[in-house]
Chain A
């Protein structure tokens, strides 16, 4: 059902956890649907210096969360904003069709975290 790459990320997810003093936090999904993801980012000089995730959901939800943190780490905010759901799925060697829209939310959570960071910056008058 899942690719070996998905299972690898499910078994040993990268960057799992919280960043207590995160610069941006993005949450997408809903426990009612079975998937809920939070992405935390730490930003320095317009780059994602650190990124972590918390996920409630299926194997695909965990693997996409892990993968998106790998893809985003070290990228500028502009580069990270361009990471798509498709990129995440491709890097994992594909996802089962039914999981493409329900559990492939990690890119959205990353974008929400970047938006949250930008909003906070505006609020601080920077």
Chain B
């Protein structure tokens, strides 16, 4: 039945670009040296690592490659930025601000700190998911040491006005951390132009390997290390470096820098065709997030009267992989906090469906999914006791 495979869940995971795999392979065989070693095999490894660091720095326009600390991924980078900066700066203040639509790897470190001597504020967002700048101005005080706001949200696609947020944060002498995990490789992230002090990125989001990411730290911004040991990564992240993945991350960053603009333009066209098709084909279907100020690959919709997991299973039966913010697909039995924060009712959040596009998706695939959705929705609505009479025929 599922002869074709249409993968539209790129926020959950992306394939590794074959050019990246190729770049990594020598570091899993002949080039196995440890970058800390004095001999030439070690020094070759060190050189490869520093080349990769420079490529990652270039992707986000960091002022120097030493501002890049390699980590195991976005979750570690977020923990390092938030807990590391808070512990380092607790003598200056104990207040931290974040938004109410952050990823769990920002939310939970902030909540953790709020039970360990820090105070936390969660900024509300509007119906599109834009952080309220007025409430940021209101909440920020001389006690505030850190503000953490994501660059873009992977679930609803909304891209935040980082530069404006940065101006407010810096006027109060606080530091800005930005989780750019969902945005990297899709929109040009420029830490200098946008005034970012700490920035989280991960490799798989730019078609690199999983299990590797980075934290950008502006010169002069210091964090406490979370992992102590042999003092690698300037003493901030001990442990022998994951060289094959670092090399892969570097290659992926180089490719993203070169190819992002053309690919994003292609994706925006595909995204808008997809959204128009989905929402146009079925009554009581809506777009989540903002129609224009959103990530190029993000198509987040919701259907009234039905539940997301049922839609995912129905799509999977046709070979289509997507995602949902329904509680029924979560480990927590709670619908996505992002969808609740933008003001959706629980039952609306349950009916959400998220398609995230990638390099290999085509117009033909988008049209196929647009074509099959009406029957999927119709069948589930026929089954649902919530469906109004006039929709049942």
Contact = CB atoms under 8 A, between A and B. Distances in A.
Interface of A: 2, 7, 10-11, 13, 16, 27, 31-38, 54-62, 98, 102-103
Contact of A54 (B313, B317, B385): B385
A57 B328 contact: yes
B321 to A, nearest CB: 13
Contacts of B350: 31, 34
Contacts of A10: 310, 313
Contacts of A16: 382-383
Q: Which of A27, A32, A57 has the most CB of B within 10 A?
A: A57
Contacts of A55: 383-385
Given A54-B385, A56-B307, A102-B333, A32 B313 contact: no
B333 A36 contact: no
A13 B331 CA distance: 26
B317 A11 contact: yes
B313 A34 contact: no
B135 to A, nearest CB: 27
Contacts of A38: 385
Given A11-B317, A98-B333, A56 B305 contact: yes
In order of increasing CB-CB distance, the 7 nearest A-B pairs are A58-B328, A58-B309, A31-B347, A54-B385, A56-B384, A32-B346, A34-B350
Contact of A34 (B305, B317, B327, B385): B327
15 contacts: A31-B347, A31-B350, A31-B386, A34-B346, A34-B347, A35-B328, A36-B386, A56-B305, A57-B307, A57-B310, A57-B328, A58-B329, A62-B383, A98-B331, A103-B328
B153 interface: no
Contacts of B307: 34-35, 56-58, 61
B386 A56 contact: yes
A56 B328 contact: no
A110 B363 CA distance: 46
Contacts of A27: 385
B385 A56 contact: yes
B326 interface: yes
A60 B310 CA distance: 9
Interface in B298-346: 305-307, 309-310, 313, 317, 326-329, 331, 333, 335, 345-346
A40 to B, nearest CB: 10
A2 B314 CA distance: 13
Contacts of B310: 10, 57-59, 61-62
Contacts of B328: 34-35, 57-58, 60-61, 102-103
Contacts of B333: 33, 98, 102
Interface in B250-295: none
Given A31-B386, A56-B383, A58-B329, 4 more contacts: A33-B333, A36-B384, A56-B384, A61-B328
Contacts of B384: 36, 54-56
Nearest to A13: B383
B305 to A, nearest CB: 7
Contacts of B386: 31, 36, 56
A71 B317 CA distance: 26
Contact of A33 (B313, B317, B327, B383): B327
Q: Which of A11, A31, A102 has the most CB of B within 10 A?
A: A31
Nearest to B350: A34
Nearest to B335: A34
A56 B327 contact: no
Contacts of A13: 383
A7 B314 CA distance: 10
A84 to B, nearest CB: 22
A56 B306 contact: yes
